[in-house]
A = this chain, B = another copy of it.
Amino acid sequence: MNDTHPVDLLVEGTLVDVNAGTLEDRTIAVDGGEIVGFGTRPAAAKIESEYVTPGLIDAHTHIEASMVTIPQYGDAVVPRGVTAVVHDPHEIANVLGPDGVRDFCADADCTPLKARLTVPSSVPASGLQDTGAAVDSADVDELLGRDDAIALGEVMDLDGVLAGDDEIHAKIESARGRGLPVDGHVPGVAGKELQDLARHLDSDHESVELAEARAKVDAGFSVYLREGSTSKNLEDLVGLVDAVDPRRLALCTDERNAVDLLNDGGVNTAVRKAMSLGVDPITAVQLATVNVAEVYDLPFGRVEPGAPADMVLLSDLESWSVEHVLVDGVVDPTGKASSTAESALPTDTVTFDRVTPADLAIDHDGPGPVTVRVASAVGSFRTERLTASVPIETQGDTAVLCGSPEDDILPMAVIERHGGPGNVGRGFVHNLGLERGAVGTTVSHDAHNCVVAGVTHGAMARVANELRDIGGGFCVFDPKSDDCTTLPLPNAGLLSDGPAEETARAFEAVSAAARDLGLSVPGGLMELSYLALEVIPTYRLTNNGLVDVEDGTFVDVVAD
């Protein structure tokens, strides 16, 4: 290094030094994308700001929850100071398997956001539903060898871990053999079971109560305090920051919906909220920088000589008022290519043949009414078991079970859409509130088949066929106007091909259209996306039929 060569840039401000845990007035020299030292030097440029922090790192998120590609996500969060995310492309993996993970990650070349991969460990979620793909232990091993892979993604098969299941343990061993950590997914687990899991898993982000989170710290987990769009746990868990050495704690979002992403960004909102809840600002910044970097052995997350020049310049810390963001020394970077450049992901993932109303209905010879098993959507993605009585109606030549809209019992269907059997699971849902028309989506955790529900089978078929035609997304059909309102998500049937702003606005429009139809369940349209998730209680409808989750078995919709 030529000492007389002026450095590229000096950054002046009060540094939140996450190593020392102090505030320091610093002039930070940046050259060749790297922080090279402190103190005034000859420099080509200089910027000043009140405060400087390392770029923030989200300890755990699923980018697909925002229905955007990684570059679009980057567009939304980098200007807010989030320069890196630890992400688990669990949804893409369910649709497209390892190839989809590679395609999804390939898009990251276009964004300054440093997207680091935790390899999906739990695809498919069960053997009960047809997914687009599986990620087996050989796939995991190969993906863990990628340069951007930093951990095994959240392990959900806790029974398999505890019972010594070969496949999940092979995945864990692949990570261990590479010296990589293993993320966990341990909601509500305590006592001996928690201890047993702690032997195999390193982190958890599912705590909702303080005592639960504390028990996980005590068991040796790195505990992430989650502040997402749906699960907002920070306020309940923030007491942990004072109760224990916060070095093992971090902040994560887990998921941000498109609207929140656009309006507020990502884990920056958690940092700001932590400060507003009384966490010392230095600690709050540590929770989303060095603490995450230490779990995953990341080279960024600190402002020190030799680190990449990823920094946030702010006029005020507690309000998180960002003036500039540096990534690899580039001020306010916009990425190497347009973030709306075509994704590497395929757009032909909604494969079923056009459906007729009869395809979505349950034949029944009568006599009616008939008692059926119904998934009652009670909000927060939970369902309760219900039995209800529904009438029989003749449609064309066939007698079928219809909904009972006055009791808010509506027909629903799940259509396999991954080039598999194309079969249809048929059933009923309670509590959506729809008074007319139908709603549907191909965002349907975890298998992401096409789920539709509506007042009539005709409206449902209209929605399903529209989703088929646009390559997936959300659709609301209003018979009053005879119009469909859609949010097209052509990339894997999960992600938009437009900028985040367009996606957010379209999601708001489709949500409003659904509310017009009477949709009133607390989680709105997203509630629909969990009605087929056959690993959380109670009743869930899959393309292969209705599952009683606690029993892990299929049950007939018709109760007797």
Contacts and interface: CB of A to CB of B under 8 A. Distances in A.
A177 to B, nearest CB: 12
Nearest to A248: B19
Nearest to A240: B20
Contact of A37 (B29, B196, B248, B302): B196
Contacts of A217: 19-20
Given A164-B1, A191-B39, A17 B307 contact: no
A217 B290 CA distance: 14
Interface string A179-218: 1000000000001100110111000000000000000011
A422 to B, nearest CB: 42
A255 interface: no
A199 B36 contact: yes
A248 B22 CA distance: 13
Given A19-B218, A218-B17, A192 B39 contact: yes
Interface string A293-316: 010010000101111000000000
B36 A218 contact: no
A19 B306 contact: no
Contacts of A245: 19-22, 286
A198 B305 contact: yes
A220 interface: yes
Contacts of A22: 243-245
A38 interface: yes
Contact of A220 (B21, B24, B41, B302): B302
Contacts of A21: 244-245, 247
A219 interface: yes
B248 A306 contact: no
24 contacts: A1-B162, A1-B196, A3-B192, A19-B218, A19-B245, A20-B218, A20-B244, A20-B248, A21-B247, A29-B195, A36-B196, A37-B192, A37-B196, A37-B198, A38-B219, A179-B179, A179-B297, A195-B305, A198-B305, A198-B306, A220-B302, A220-B305, A247-B247, A297-B297
Given A1-B164, A1-B196, 4 more contacts: A21-B244, A22-B245, A198-B305, A219-B304
